[in-house]
Structure formats: structure tokens, C-alpha cells
Amino acid sequence: MKLNTVPTSSNTFDVIILGAGASGLMCALTAAQRGRKVLVLEKANKIGKKILMSGGGRCNFTNHFVDADNFISNNPHFCKAALTRYTQWDFIAMVERHQIPYEERRHSQLFCLNSAKDILRMLVDECSSAGAEIRSHCELNSVEVISASTHKSSRYRLNVSHQDKQFELLCNSFVVASGALSIPTLGGSDIGYDIARQFGLSLTKRYAGLVPFMFSDAMKQLCEKLAGLALEVELSASKISFTENILFTHRGISGPAALQVSNYWQPGDTLTLNLLPALNAADWLKKMKHEQAKSLLRTVLSQKLSKGLVTELQWLWWHEQADKPLGEFTDKQLLQIGNNLNQWLLKPSGTEGYRTAEVTRGGVNTDDISSKTMEAKNQAGLYFIGEVLDVTGWLGGFNFQWAWSSGYSAGLVV
């Protein structure tokens, strides 16, 4: 996977793409296959870092079932055109054409069977065969519009640094595929937002998304004791619920359900945790009161939940009755405990933030962008694709599909 890391003899291109991640590479290969002269600039020392780390190194590259409802945006209709133009089946066809083995996991998520490197290699090979050039170690210093009277064939002039040297690049179409704020160690930055502001585009409020929750009260101590424990629950915030695993950590709760709900949670909101989503806990406890009257409540509840968790719940909810037989509990007491099991209210102190967030919620306002071409409505030849836009997908391959779809849509017209 050899890449150009030094300037070429030519400094003029049809298309320059800022960012060699999922959306940028998809845009590059699509445009290059149309005969466009394409250059991709990447600030980091390696390209596609988020691709390589995603899905535990296996890359959850798409989902068998993709719908606009799987995405969050101030304009929920914006993503529809791109998702229709380039579907999950189109990307799956490319994966199969490159003979990359993959598997379907829970909730129709598709992962590489071997390594995420297979997906990155496929994208680079497609770029290479189409003639798109990729340069790493390149940092954008500035971008400006060129006067038509000065240079008729190019719209934009870029000043770029490479190995302590600066050079000038010209292009007709400039595509911002810079990603966003999530996981700065993998290259996350706000440069795309700066470019949007420079050209008069508005931004929606940004938050860390698909990110674990943290606690600062007694719940933090409980989480520390249970760190490493995973269980399936129903977790809710802002009237949105997901039934998936959570994972207790030393800082709070993570796992698929927590990450999904974090996309909808606002600071100060309360989470509702249902530890027994398939059960009306109060009714079940009343039934067990008659069937196992001499048993301790913790013994009965350990039939459904781990002993370690039950021990902590006992301390929270029935510490004074810890050694009382279940038959001696009043129905009112069991109703209260059952309600707690089905509706445990938790108030996070916050999330782990962009350091571990898989995505950034919010971004460049889609009202300012063409849903068909990803071009800025007020600035000809300027495009925004991927995570930098105010389109955030659920966990499960949806953010990659948005990268493929938005990158392809721009690649068709740049």
C-alpha cells in the first residue's frame, strides 16, 4: 500500500479532497473513475486510521438494513438522496468483487472476517487503478477562492505544508472530508468547521456521539465494583430506547446500548435502565413470593441477574431486609423493588467526550448543502462529505454507509 508523500511535478488538479478517511477515499475513487484528476491530502502519517480501528479491527463496514431512521440530523430527510444513490448493496458488491470475506453479526451488522485492512486496501487499490493520488503528512494552511480573471480553469488555491516546506495547489473542486472532533488521536479535528465558517456556512451544535457515560456520585463506585460485567438491558433517554448489552466500566457504563443512547442524551438528562426488559419485575417477584417464600430475595433475583450485580442492588434497595425471607416482604415493597429493576433512573455526570467518541453529533448545517451533490449552496465547487456534516448514524455500520454514500454522491459531480 505505497502512497505518495511528496509533492508531484504538477500542482493543478480537477479535484482536491481534504482527508483520506472513508468518505474521502470513496469520493476520490468515484471521481477518478470518471476521468477526473484527483488528489487526496491527509494530515496524518497514515491514511484510514478510523477504518483500521473500527469494529475491533474488523471494520463494521455497513448494515444489511439501512434506512433514514438510522440517522440523526436537524434535517432528517437530508441523507435520503445519497443513501438511495449509493446503497449498502453497492458497497457490498465492491467488497465481494475484491473477494473480501465478511460475516453478518447481530442486528444485521457486516464485519470483515479477517481484518479492517482489507477494506482500506480495497479503497486504495480502487483509487490507484483509477489514477487518484494520495499524499500523507500534508497539512492545509489556507484555502482561498481564485479570481476568474486570474485563473480560468481553477477555483481554489490551497497552501499546504509538507515536511516543513510549503507549496501551492490549485483545483476546480475542493472536497472537505476531514472528519470531525471524535478521537483526536486518530486525526479528529475541527478544520472542516473552520472552512465552513470561512465560506459562510452555518454549523449546528456539536456533541460527542456513540460515547460511554460517566458518573461522579455513588453510581461511580458501583460501576467500579462491577467493572467488566456485561448484560443485556433496555436503556432509554429522550424517549428513545435500545435493547442491547451495557458494560460496566471503572468510569461508568459503555457497551452498545449506552453508545446508541448517547446520540440522544443531552447534558443533565436522566437515563432509564431496565435490567429485566423481557419481564414485569414486580409481577414476577410477587409470583416468586408464593413459589419460593422461604428463599432470600437475592437468591431468587440471582436467577435472572449476576450475583455481583444483585449484591450491589441489595445494598441500594433492600439492605435492611437482606436476610428476610421473600415471603415476609409486603407486596408494596416488592412493587417498589420491581419498579426499580424495570426503571432504574440514573443521572450521568457526562460522557467520556471526544477522546473515546466514535462520532461527532452535529456539524455543518445540511440546510446549506445540496443533498444530491454535497455541494455548498452558496459556494460553487466546495463540497462537504462524511462526518463533518450534521448527519450521525447509529452504531452498526451506518456511519460508514453514510461515508460511502455521501462520498460517492460528491464523486459523481466534482
Fold of 12-207+360-411: FAD/NAD(P)-binding domain (3.50.50)
DSSP letter at 179? -
Supply the pLDDT for residue 8.
53
Task: Tell me the pLDDT tens digit for each residue of 123-137.
Answer: 999 999 999 999 999
Q: How confident is residue 150, by pLDDT bands cut at 50, 70 and 90?
A: low
pLDDT attached to residue 133: 97
Going from N- to C-terminal start, the domains of the chain cover 12-207+360-411, 212-351
Q: Please, which pLDDT band fits residue 4 given cuts at 50, 70 and 90?
A: very low
Q: What is the pLDDT of residue 279?
A: 96
CATH code: domain 212-351 is 2.40.30.10
pLDDT for residue 7 = 52
Residue 413 has pLDDT above 70, yes or no: yes
What's the CA gap between 127 and 350, in Å, rounded?
41
Query: How far is the C-alpha of 92 from the C-alpha of 70, rounded, in Å?
Result: 18
- Whether the per-residue pLDDT at 116 is higher than 90: the answer is yes
State the pairing for strand pair 344-346/213-214.
unpaired
Confidence of residue 149 (pLDDT cuts 50, 70, 90): low
Cα 296 to Cα 298: distance, rounded to the nearest angstrom: 5
CA separation for the pair 1, 4 (Å, rounded): 10
Question: What number is the average pLDDT over the span 136-147?
Answer: 94
Over the stretch 56-81, which tens digit does the pLDDT of each residue have? 999 999 999 999 999 999 999 999 99
- Mean residue pLDDT of the chain comes to 94
Which pLDDT score is estimated for 2? 44
